[in-house]
Amino acid sequence: MNIALVGYGKMGKAIESIALASGHTVTTKVNSENPIETADFQDVDVAIEFSVPHLALKHIHFFLDHDIPCVIGTTGWNKDLEQVTHKAKQLNRSFLYASNFSIGVNLFFKLNEQLTSLMSQHPSYHASLEEIHHTQKLDAPSGTAITLAEGIVSTSDRYTNWFCPQDHNSIKSDSSLVIEALREPDVPGTHTVNYTSPIDTITIKHEAHNRSGFATGAVVAAEWLLHKKGVFTMRDVLNLK
């Protein structure tokens, strides 16, 4: 499989290492020195995009316009997801996105929903979220934390939205689920869900040790997407219903 890497920072280099070890070829690398408009996509089977939020949407539209199957790992652009999904379906393109490509995190998403279903029967417990990432991460809260929060909000009757003190666009209400977004040096990603009552606390936690899990999941997603048409997520890749 010929892969284009769009964004060639730490994640792009980690994905390249996994892709080459898996027998694939990286034919194109897009970065500030080789922008997407001038890059050669002629022999590309799939593009894997891990760049920055303010460029991601432009890259996505480029892939859709040029019929290049794409795996999108950048977060922070999801306010435009409905528009992008509509365009991908209308043009019959191949588009796969996720807030996190780690296989472990996606299993954690499912565990989070199952725990929420159990805890909704016990009103003395109050949920909260905490995420910790490296100081270079630009968006807060993380896309992973938002996915966890949406899993709780959609499963529980108690919470109607999420609120993050570090996100000036979020609005707090009495029924808000609180996300604390912390930034510390050299933290690949840690997400914790707490259910606290007056007598005890139940906690589930996912801690990434390095970027390899994200890179591996992105390559697995690209392999899965090849020769498919439609809009997909890691739930489809992992068959998590």
Q: What is the pLDDT of residues 185-221, one digit of tens each?
A: 989 899 999 999 999 999 999 999 988 999 999 999 9
pLDDT at 169: 86
pLDDT interval class at 96 (50, 70, 90): very high
pLDDT at 228: 97
pLDDT interval class at 17 (50, 70, 90): very high
Determine contact, residues 171/163, Cβ cutoff 8 Å: yes
pLDDT at 187: 92
Question: Which tens digits make up the pLDDT trace of 111-149?
Answer: 999 999 999 999 999 999 999 999 988 789 998 999 999
Catalytic residue numbers read 133, 137
Q: What number does CATH give the domain 103-207?
A: 3.30.360.10
pLDDT at 173: 92
- Please state which architecture CATH assigns to domain 2-101+212-238: 3-Layer(aba) Sandwich (3.40)
Q: Is the pLDDT of residue 8 over 90?
A: yes
Q: Is the pLDDT of residue 76 over 90?
A: no
pLDDT at 216: 95
The rounded mean pLDDT for the chain is 94
Share of the chain above pLDDT 90, in %: 87
pLDDT at 211: 85
Q: What are the structural domain ranges in the chain? A: 2-101+212-238, 103-207
**Distance set, CA 193 to CA 26, 36, 110, 175, 177 (Å):** 37, 38, 13, 17, 11
Question: Which tens digits make up the pLDDT trace of 42-53?
Answer: 999 999 999 998
Domains 2-101+212-238 and 103-207 equal at CATH topology level: no
For residue 231, how many other CB atoms are within 10 A of its CB? 17
Comparing CA positions, the residue from 110, 223, 131, 234 lying closest to residue 177 is: 131
**Distance set, CA 43 to CA 38, 114, 235 (Å):** 14, 43, 28
pTM of the model: 0.82
